[in-house]
C-alpha cells in the first residue's frame, strides 16, 4: 500500500526530531564532561543552536498541520520580522515612513494573499514592478532629498529580499505537478532541509577542516573547506530526498547543488550588508542564530530559483 502525503510528512518530521534528540544528547554529554564551573563557547553555542532548531522545526511542523493557510501565515510572519530587522539596520528618515507603511501593511500582506488565491500573474510582478515604482514615488512626497537614492534603494532591497524572495516558499503550494497532487508540502521540506543542512554542514566542515578563509572582511568564519564540504554533503542529502519530490535522484542532486550554491551566496551577500552596517547579527530573536534574517538569508536567494526551476520543468 503506497504511503499517503501525511504518512510521508510523519516519517520526515519523525526523522528530523529523532536527529535533534541525538544532537541534544551529544550536546548534553559534551556539557556534562566539562569541569564544574568551566564553560566552553563552542559547546554553549552548539547547545543554543540545537535548542533553537527544536523551536524552528516545531514551528514548521505546526504550520504544516495548519495546511496551506498555516504555511502562509508562518512565512508572512518570517517576512515581517526579517523586513523589520533589515529596515532597523538601514538609514531611513521621516520622509520614508509613508513608503515603509506601504511595505509592511500593504505589499507584504497582499503578496501572501495572492498566494492564498493562487494569482501567479500578479504575485510575480507585484513587488518587482508596482512596489518598485510606487515606493520611491511615495518617498518623494516627503520632500526630503537627503541621501534619497540610498534610502529608496534600501527600502526596495528590503522588500525584495525579505518579502518577495521568501514568499516563494509557500508559493510552492500553488504548483500543479502531474502525479504529485497533495504532496507540495514535501517540496518545502526538500528546500528547507537541503539549504539549511548546507549551513549546518558548512559550519561543521569549517570547524573540523577549515584552513583557507573565503573573505574575512565579509564572513570571518567561512572557509573554502567548509563551503565545499557543506555544499557537497547537503547536495547528497538532497539527492537522498529525491523520493519526496517529483525528481529522480540525479535531478534531485542537480537541483540541490543549485539551491545550495545560491543559498551560500544569499548568506554571503547579506553578511556583506551586515558588515557595511557594522553588525554581527541582524537581531537576537533566535538564540544561537541571531535574528530571523540570519536564519533565512540562504532561503531568500534559493527559494525563487527553486520555485522557477520546478515551475518551468515540472509544471505543464
Distance, C-alpha 104 to centroid of its chain: 19
User: Does 163 share its domain with 207?
Assistant: no
User: Which pairs from 210-218 meet CB under 8 Å and 24+ separation?
Assistant: 215/268, 217/275, 218/268, 218/271, 218/272, 218/275
pLDDT band at 5 (very low <50, low <70, confident <90, very high): confident
Whether residues 170 and 183 share a domain: the answer is: no
Q: What is the pLDDT of residue 38?
A: 61
- Mean pLDDT across the stretch 202-210? 84
Residues 121 and 231 in one domain: no
Residues 225 and 310 in one domain: yes
Q: Could you give the percent of the chain with pLDDT greater than 90?
A: 66
Per-residue pLDDT, averaged over 62-84, amounts to 96
236-261 per-position pLDDT tens digit:
999 999 999 999 999 999 999 999 99
Same domain? For 165 and 192 the reply is no
Task: Among 65, 84, 107, give the residue marking a domain's end.
Answer: 65
Contact predicate 170/71, CB 8 Å: yes
Please tell me whether residues 158 and 52 are part of one structural domain.
Answer: no
Angle at 194 between CA 259 and CA 225, to 5 degrees: 80
How many domains are contained in the chain?
Answer: 3
Q: In this predicted structure, which of 33-42, 255-264, 265-274 has the lowest mean pLDDT?
A: 33-42
Residues spanned by the domain of 79 = 69-174
Residue 311: its pLDDT value, please?
98
Q: Which long-range contacts (CB under 8 A, 24 or more apart) does 168-171 make?
A: 168/303, 168/304, 168/306, 168/307, 169/71, 169/75, 169/299, 169/303, 170/68, 170/71, 170/72, 170/74, 170/75, 170/112, 170/115, 171/115, 171/120, 171/123, 171/307
For residue 106, pLDDT over 90 is answered with: yes
| Interval 202-221 mean pLDDT | 84
Q: What is the pLDDT of residue 1?
A: 58
For residues 147 and 239, state if they share a domain.
no
Q: Which of 126, 160, 140 is nearest to 96 (CA)?
A: 140
User: 222 and 148, same structural domain?
Assistant: no
H helices present in 129-276, as ranges: 132-140, 148-159, 168-171, 184-209, 224-240, 249-276
Model confidence, pTM: 0.92
One domain for residues 268 and 142? no
Residue with cell 573540523: 208
Last residue of a domain, one of 49, 65, 81: 65
Task: Band the pLDDT of 209: cuts 50, 70, 90.
Answer: confident
Ramachandran region, residue 37 (left: φ > 0; alpha: ψ -120 to 50; beta: rest): left
What are the residues facing 213 on neighbouring strands? 223
pLDDT at 23 over 90: no
The grid coordinates listed for 37 are 564551573
pLDDT at 256: 98
Domain boundary among 174, 197, 231: 174
Burial class (CB in 10 A: 0-12, 13-18, 19+), 38: exposed
Q: Are residues 245 and 283 in the same domain?
A: yes
- Please tell me whether residues 188 and 277 are part of one structural domain: yes
pLDDT of 157 over the 80 cut: yes
Question: Both ends of the chain: CA-CA distance in Å?
Answer: 28
Same domain, 200 and 299: yes
The answer, yes or no, to whether residue 55 has pLDDT greater than 90, is: no
- Residue 286 reports pLDDT greater than 80: no
- The burial class, CB within 10 Å (0-12 / 13-18 / 19+), for 144 is middle
Cα–Cα distances in angstroms (integers) from residue 181 to residues 2, 170, 193, 221, in the given order: 14, 15, 21, 42
Looking up cell 501525511 gives: 6
Amino acid at each position: 500500500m503506497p504511503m499517503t502525503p501525511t504518512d510521508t510528512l510523519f516519517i520526515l518530521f519523525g526523522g528530523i526530531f529523532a536527529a535533534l534528540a541525538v544532537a541534544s544528547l551529544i550536546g548534553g554529554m559534551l556539557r556534562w564532561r566539562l569541569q564544574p564551573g568551566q564553560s566552553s563557547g563552542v559547546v554553549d553555542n552548539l547547545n543554543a543552536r540545537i535548542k533553537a532548531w527544536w523551536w524552528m522545526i516545531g514551528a514548521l511542523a505546526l504550520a504544516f498541520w495548519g495546511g496551506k493557510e498555516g504555511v502562509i501565515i508562518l512565512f508572512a510572519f518570517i517576512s515581517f520580522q526579517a523586513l523589520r530587522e533589515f529596515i532597523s539596520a538601514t538609514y531611513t528618515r521621516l520622509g520614508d515612513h509613508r513608503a515603509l507603511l506601504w511595505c509592511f501593511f500593504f505589499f507584504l500582506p497582499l503578496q501572501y494573499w495572492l498566494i492564498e488565491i493562487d494569482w501567479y500573474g500578479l504575485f510575480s510582478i507585484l513587488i518587482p514592478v508596482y512596489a518598485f515604482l510606487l515606493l520611491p514615488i511615495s518617498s518623494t512626497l516627503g520632500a526630503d532629498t537627503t541621501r534619497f537614492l540610498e534610502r529608496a534603494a534600501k527600502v526596495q532591497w528590503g522588500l525584495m529580499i525579505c518579502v518577495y524572495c521568501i514568499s516563494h516558499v509557500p508559493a510552492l503550494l500553488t504548483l500543479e505537478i502531474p502525479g504529485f497532487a497533495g504532496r507540495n508540502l514535501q517540496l518545502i521540506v526538500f528546500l528547507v532541509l537541503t539549504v539549511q543542512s548546507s549551513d549546518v554542514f558548512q559550519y561543521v566542515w569549517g570547524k573540523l577542516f577549515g584552513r583557507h578563509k573565503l573573505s574575512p572582511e565579509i564572513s570571518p568564519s567561512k572557509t573554502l573547506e567548509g563551503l565545499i564540504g557543506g555544499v557537497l554533503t547537503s547536495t547528497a542529502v538532497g539527492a537522498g530526498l529525491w523520493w519526496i519530490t517529483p525528481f529522480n535522484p540525479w535531478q534531485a542532486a542537480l537541483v540541490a547543488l543549485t539551491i545550495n550554491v545560491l543559498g551560500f551566496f544569499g548568506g554571503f551577500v547579506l553578511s556583506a550588508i551586515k558588515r557595511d552596517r557594522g553588525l554581527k547579527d541582524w537581531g537576537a530573536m533566535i538564540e544561537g542564530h541571531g535574528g530571523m534574517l540570519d536564519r533565512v538569508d540562504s532561503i531568500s536567494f534559493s527559494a525563487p530559483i527553486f520555485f522557477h526551476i520546478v515551475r518551468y520543468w515540472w509544471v505543464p
